[in-house]
Chain A
């Protein structure tokens, strides 16, 4: 199953239309579930669609997915890393009226090439190729060794607030 998500704020029909075009082109017949955003005009008889999802519903679909297709939002990026999911990301573009500014293109630039399981595309052709690779790789496990975590931020804030080394 492929799970498509466009985030909590605005619809992103270009992503859904691209996806549909790719699916018709390659004949992908797997199940597709999409969270399309309030006010989306997109329709498809073969995609199970929800305008919005609660947190629980979202993660239910997310965890079941063999791959995730998403706008370049931080929530989707972090969720893919947390749940070891492959992700294909298309940043929203300000010029196309898809967001208030171009920060998603900046996010895509920041994360591009950082994690092998996450692919960021701005062009339709690259997006199609990434979707094909996503389906091909969907059964192989995600290498999560590159996801390093540290507590630098929490440590610095705790020190600033005087929470570290505080007396019991």
Chain B
């Protein structure tokens, strides 16, 4: 099983790496391989170079979003993951969306920063991702599209 792990550079990526450490130790003997994609160049995880993809945010405009979506389709074509996992933010949402259109299994993990409500991206992700997770139990209590399975901390 090939798992593509995706996040924006910064706090989202730090949470993604922590999730990876947890997953790696749980999936010790199973034939899972991991690949990373991040919005910053020349980043290594576990001695392996992460793929780079463009950063976008809500003010980026539709042209940049669409061109990013096309590039993300190419990235998925090249990496051929079975599963995509993202800790956000909007660039991660775009990868999740493209992956879902290609029939991949997709997991969204909302940032631990979002303690009072899900992020803007998380509130979109919950409508199409296979699993949409928050890191705060109370946020999963009133939304049947969102689950709590634990934290990166």
Residue positions of A touching B, CB distance < 8 A: 7-9, 54-55, 73-79, 81, 100-101, 103-104, 106-107, 109-110, 149-158, 160-164, 166, 168
Whether B29 and A166, one on each chain, are in contact in the complex, defined by CB atoms closer than 8 angstroms, is yes
Distance of A54 Cα from B41 Cα, bound (Å): 10
Whether A150 and B11, one on each chain, are in contact in the complex, defined by CB atoms closer than 8 angstroms, is no
Contact of B27 among A78, A81, A164 (CB under 8 A): A164
Whether B25 and A151, one on each chain, are in contact in the complex, defined by CB atoms closer than 8 angstroms, is yes
Whether A157 and B15, one on each chain, are in contact in the complex, defined by CB atoms closer than 8 angstroms, is no
Whether A154 and B23, one on each chain, are in contact in the complex, defined by CB atoms closer than 8 angstroms, is yes
Distance of A154 Cα from B19 Cα, bound (Å): 6
Segment 12-68 of B: residues with Cβ below 8 Å from A? 12-15, 18-19, 21-27, 29-32, 40, 42-43, 57-58
Chain A interface SS verdict (over half): helix
Distance of A104 Cα from B111 Cα, bound (Å): 11
Contact of B113 among A106, A153, A157 (CB under 8 A): A106
Apart from A77-B11, A161-B27, 12 more pairs, CB < 8 Å: A7-B11, A8-B8, A75-B10, A106-B117, A109-B115, A110-B136, A153-B133, A154-B19, A155-B22, A155-B150, A166-B27, A166-B30
| Interface membership of B75, Cβ < 8 A | no
Instruction: Contacts A106-B113, A163-B26 given; indicate if A75 touches B153 (C-beta within 8 A).
Output: no
Distance of A2 Cα from B152 Cα, bound (Å): 27
Instruction: Chain A residues near B14: list those with CB within 8 A.
Output: 74-75, 78-79
Closest to B32 in A: A163
Instruction: Chain B residues near A101: list those with CB within 8 A.
Output: 120
Instruction: Chain A residues near B109: list those with CB within 8 A.
Output: 153
Distance of A75 Cα from B22 Cα, bound (Å): 17
Contact of B112 among A74, A109, A164, A166 (CB under 8 A): A74
Segment 67-98 of B: residues with Cβ below 8 Å from A? 83, 85
Whether B113 and A107, one on each chain, are in contact in the complex, defined by CB atoms closer than 8 angstroms, is yes
Contact of A106 among B29, B40, B116 (CB under 8 A): B116
Closest to A159 in B: B26
Distance of A54 Cα from B119 Cα, bound (Å): 26
Distance of A90 Cα from B135 Cα, bound (Å): 22
Instruction: Contacts A9-B10, A81-B153 given; indicate if A154 touches B26 (C-beta within 8 A).
Output: yes
Instruction: Contacts A7-B11, A73-B113, A76-B11 given; indicate if A158 touches B31 (C-beta within 8 A).
Output: no
Instruction: Chain A residues near B127: list those with CB within 8 A.
Output: none
Whether B150 and A74, one on each chain, are in contact in the complex, defined by CB atoms closer than 8 angstroms, is no
B31 to chain A, nearest CB (A): 7
| Interface membership of B99, Cβ < 8 A | no
Distance of A152 Cα from B1 Cα, bound (Å): 21
Can you list 30 A-B contacts (CB < 8 A)? Answer: A54-B42, A55-B40, A73-B11, A74-B14, A74-B112, A75-B13, A78-B18, A79-B14, A103-B115, A104-B113, A107-B115, A109-B116, A150-B150, A151-B26, A152-B149, A152-B150, A153-B149, A153-B150, A153-B151, A153-B152, A157-B107, A158-B23, A158-B30, A161-B3, A161-B27, A163-B1, A164-B26, A164-B27, A164-B30, A166-B29
